[in-house]
Structures are given as C-alpha cells and as structure tokens.
Amino acid sequence: MLRAMRTQVGIIGAGPAGLLLSHLLHLRGISSVVLERHSRAYVERRVRAGVLEQGTVDTLTAAGVAGRLRREGLPHRGIELRYGGAGHRIAFEELVPGRTITVYGQQEVVKDLIAARLADGGDIRFEVDDVVPHAAGTDRPYLTFGGERLDCDFIAGCDGFHGVSRPSIPAGVLTEYEREYPFAWLGILARVAPSADELIYARTDRGFALHSMRSPQVSRFYLQVAPDEDVAAWPDERIWAELKARLETVPGFELTTGEIMEKAVTPMRSFVAEPMQYGRLFLAGDAAHIVPPTGAKGLNLAVADVRVLTAALAEWYATGSREALDGYSRACLKRVWRAQHFSWWMTTLLHTFEEEDAYGRRLQLSYLDYVTSSPAAATTLAENYVGLPYD
C-alpha cells in the first residue's frame, strides 16, 4: 500500500526550472512538492551554465532571491569576437541600452533557490527513487516514488533531457525536432583569475574556444573537440597549450594558467519537443528543449518557461480559466525557436566543420566581418544575446 499525500503542483526535478517554479508558485499562494533523484550536495555543485540574461536577473530579483547574485555576480556589458588575429567587441551598452548579462553560475542560482524554499518551509525531497507520472491525461494526475503517492492538480516535468517526464507522454503526442553537431565542447573549470574582463568567443582554424569566468578567482574555458573525444586524452598541459594556441591570437593578450579543478566533454545538440504539454503534465526547461551552449540560452529559456507556467497556473487557481494553460506551449515555443535559431547561428558562425570547404570558410569569415562592422548586424547579435524582452 502506497502512503498517499497531496499538493497542488507536483514538480519533478530540483534544477533551476523546478526550484524557481516552486518558489514563484509559493509567492502566489500555490503549494508544491519538488522531487529530485540526486542529493542536495550533487545538485548544488553541478557546474552548468553561467550567463544570465537581463530578464533572468530581473525575474530572480523580483522573486527576492537575488541578494547574493547582486553582490557576487559579474555584470558584463559586452563580449569579444576574436578571429583573424584581431578582437572585436560587441558593446551591449551602446547597442541595447539598459540591457546586459550577468555571469553567475547555475549552481549558485540553485543554492539560492534551495535556501529560499527551505526557509519558507518548502517541500524539496532529494534522493527520491523511481519517480513515475500517472494519469496526466486526466483531471486526477499523481506521482509515485519510493513507496509513496503524491496526488496533485498538475505535474511539472522539470527533470531535464534524460528525465522521466517527457518519455511518460504517450507515443504519437509529441513531435521531436533534433540536430546533432559534429563536435563537442571540452569544458574546463580552473582556479585561476580570468585573463579578460569579458567573455571571448574565438574562431580559429584549430577550432573554437571560449574564455569565460565564474568569479574573480575562477575561470571557465571551452574547447571545440571531436564528438567522441575522451577526456582522458586531455592532460592539463595539453589543455593549456591548446587554449593558448586558440586564444593568444591578438597582440598583447596572454592567458593566465593554473590549477584545473574539473574537465568534462559535453555533446552539442539542438532539440525541441512540441507541444510542451500533455493533459495536466507540463514540460519546462531541458525536459522540452536543448540548445547548444554557444548562445548561453539553456538556463534562460527554463526561466522563461517557468514564468509562463506560473502565470497560467495562477490564473487557473484564481478563476478556473484554462486559457493560459492551453496556450502554454504556444507562448513558450515562440521564444524557444528564436533561441534555437540564435544558438544555431552562433554555433555555425564560430566553429570549424570538418566537411567545410574553402568556400564555406570564406562565407563564415565574411559574416563575422559583417557582424563586427555593421551596427545593425551587431545589434541583432546583442539583443538576442542579452535576451529579448518578455511579452
């Protein structure tokens, strides 16, 4: 016999999407339970995205969970595109006044949200085994896990690309769009001060490289590598040598090296599932869509989804109207597909492709020249990068 309990919204996944949704619902007086298969320590140290759009920062601020973000986050008012032996700054403050980005690790956002939910008496259950959604197509959905049953009005699947939520939707309901890229990213976290004040996106014939940061003492780097690359083939010495070869391409720039704390290979994928809902099950964040990290959109799309879902659920509880709930996918996917295109565009603009011929390389460089010399083209990049305003 399963031990039964009840809440209004059952949330699968304690990543940024699930935690923020739980917090925003709490601010609207709506109860939730968050179920997470990993430990609290695991989700709080899991290194992921680190670039927050203006709208994401504004959302966290309005939700009252941005105190540490405001103190420790690193506002950036531009990025550098580096290619052909020169650096070209895309100045956000000139192209999209009043909108910028903030570098603040996803794991730090998670820590802040967990702390806020627990301080408010929120119910977050870590290390939960065998979560299964049931009866999502009815008006009585529920979740089972570890010998317990959670009855709820709605289920929010915020459990990522490999989670249980999307596969629980019956076959034939979803249309899935996917693109695999012929390369991956080798991500490096190093205990070393950043060598530049802003992010550097470097396009070279050796492959793409990204110089980023997490704090004044910790830097984040990425190297384009083969999709089946073995991280064991990349000792620290090789990593630093390759980063230098791809980043030290402009006069006067010298890469600071130091202790490497983490390294991992991340595949590059674009993915969208339509619709993002089935009955009373709603998908949010990576459970519904994946973007290559070149455009820094993954976490920010999750926040946008959660904003829409919170408003729709609040409307249903206040008025009984399903109009916003029924329009959830349509509202989210408009932004998702814009971010998909931007992420694909940034990826194809800056990476090298094995099958690319001399003609293709010249086209790529020509477009880089256009973006870095035309205010109109640079504005398109800037306004997409800092995040389009919410409707």
Given a contact cutoff of 8 angstroms between Cβ atoms, the answer to whether 201 and 350 are in contact is: yes
Q: Measure Cα distances from 176 to 167, 273, 355 in Å.
A: 12, 4, 26
Q: Does 293 qualify as catalytic in the annotation?
A: yes
Q: What is the pLDDT of residues 97-123, one digit of tens each?
A: 999 999 999 999 999 999 999 999 999
Which candidate in 16, 133, 292, 293 is catalytic?
293
Token pair of 2 as six digits: 């399963």
Which CATH superfamily groups domain 182-268+355-386?
A: D-Amino Acid Oxidase, subunit A, domain 2 (3.30.9.10)
pLDDT confidence bin for 181, thresholds 50/70/90 = very high
Which candidate in 83, 142, 201, 278 is catalytic?
201
Query: Are both 3-74+101-177+269-346 and 182-268+355-386 of the same fold?
Result: no
Q: Measure Cα distances from 384 to 153, 318, 387 in Å.
A: 36, 34, 5
Q: What is the pLDDT of residues 247-256, one digit of tens each?
A: 999 999 999 9
Residue 50: the pLDDT is: 86
* Region for 98 from its dihedrals, namely left if φ exceeds 0, alpha if ψ lies in -120 to 50, beta otherwise: left
Residue 4: the pLDDT is: 84
pLDDT confidence bin for 298, thresholds 50/70/90 = very high
For a pLDDT cut of 70, what percent of the chain falls above it?
99
Give the domain ranges of the chain: 3-74+101-177+269-346, 182-268+355-386
Q: Does 83 qualify as catalytic in the annotation?
A: no
Whether residue 1 has pLDDT greater than 70: no
Q: What is the DSSP letter of 388?
A: P
3-74+101-177+269-346 folds as FAD/NAD(P)-binding domain (3.50.50)
Which candidate in 278, 297, 328, 351 is catalytic?
297
Whole-angstrom distance, CA of residue 71 vs CA of residue 371: 33
Q: What is the pLDDT of residues 127-175, one digit of tens each?
A: 999 999 999 999 999 999 988 999 999 999 999 999 999 999 999 999 9
Average pLDDT taken over every residue of the chain: 96
Among candidates 6, 125, 52, which has minimal Cα distance to 387?
52
Q: Does 162 qualify as catalytic in the annotation?
A: no
Whole-angstrom distance, CA of residue 64 vs CA of residue 117: 11
Which candidate in 142, 278, 328, 385 is catalytic?
385
pTM of the full predicted structure? 0.95
Q: Does 227 qualify as catalytic in the annotation?
A: no
Residue 8: the pLDDT is: 98
Comparing 42-51, 142-151, 236-245, 344-353, which segment has the lowest mean pLDDT? 42-51
Whether residue 358 has pLDDT greater than 90: no
Whether residue 349 has pLDDT greater than 80: yes
How many C-beta atoms lie closer than 10 Å to residue 211's C-beta? 23
Whole-angstrom distance, CA of residue 244 vs CA of residue 261: 18
Which candidate in 16, 23, 76, 351 is catalytic?
76
Given a contact cutoff of 8 angstroms between Cβ atoms, the answer to whether 284 and 17 are in contact is: yes
Whether residue 2 has pLDDT greater than 90: no
Q: What is the pLDDT of residues 361-376, one digit of tens each?
A: 899 999 999 999 999 9
Region 278-291 average pLDDT: 98
In Å, the largest CA–CA distance within the chain is 71
Q: Does 76 qualify as catalytic in the annotation?
A: yes
Residue 196: the pLDDT is: 96
Whole-angstrom distance, CA of residue 178 vs CA of residue 196: 35
For residue 206, which amino acid is it?
R
Calculate the dihedral angle through the C-alpha atoms of 71, 20, 36, 191, rounding to the nearest 10 degrees.
-20
